[in-house]
Structure 1
Amino acid sequence: MNDLVERAREIQRTAHVPYSEYRVGAALETADGTVVTGCNLENVNFSNSLHAEEVAIAEAVKNGHREFTRLAVSSDRRDGVTPCGMCRQTLAEFCEADLVVGCDEGDDESGEPIVAEYTLGELLPAAMNQEYLE
């Protein structure tokens, strides 16, 4: 997971966050090992802002990926940020409940990332899915 955390840390540098000044990066690994990244992009009206996880999943789907294995999320504050509820639901649209989600909690004394790991199912139990529409 440390490799994905590093990619999430790298991409957060490109975030557009003039209002919150809270940079977030996400690195999503596809079933074939491709890593797709995304960062948050704020808009003055906030409701049009894009979250890092949404940007990553959109980029992956745009490029034909539909199966995912791991996701790492990192903020510039290294505060263990997890995907918000909206992002969890977006992830549930494309990912299985066993998707591993790593949340960056900073570094240990040796400089290695400390990562809290969850599954998407733990973060979003009883997720809405296509069955709700049938």
Structure 2
Amino acid sequence: MSNKALRILIADEQHFHRMKVERLFNHLGYYRIAPVNSLEELLTLVDYGSEPFDAVVINASLGGEVLNLLDFLRDHPQVHHALIYHGQQARLPICVEQNVEVSHGALPDLPSVQRLMAIIDPPLPFVATVISVR
């Protein structure tokens, strides 16, 4: 069962890409999603938001030469976990460190979103209930 209160931010310049990634989260039962199309919007929501984001999923090209996305997302207190995709665009190495994962895929796929959410929202352990009849 997915935690409906989790906050997710998707950042990509392309509307179609944002929609496609959002549908992956929707497929897994997550609907509290803020899509943005620019680095400026992302920085505004992250820096001035009242609540932290549980996950930030961002196209590496948004950082460009202006911002080191890896350091920013790793160290920002308002970002708990992040997935940077299209990492070869920003010459980022494929890695998983602390709370940030970098992928060279053009877009996240369902397995990568599932891996991210398994860390953020792990499934509850199965507990068998025994009913005794007397």
> Under TM normalisation by the shorter chain, which class is it?
0.3 to 0.5
Larger proportion of helix:
2
When normalised by structure 1's length, the TM-score is 0.33
When normalised by structure 2's length, the TM-score is 0.33
The structure that has the greater radius of gyration is 2
Larger proportion of strand:
1
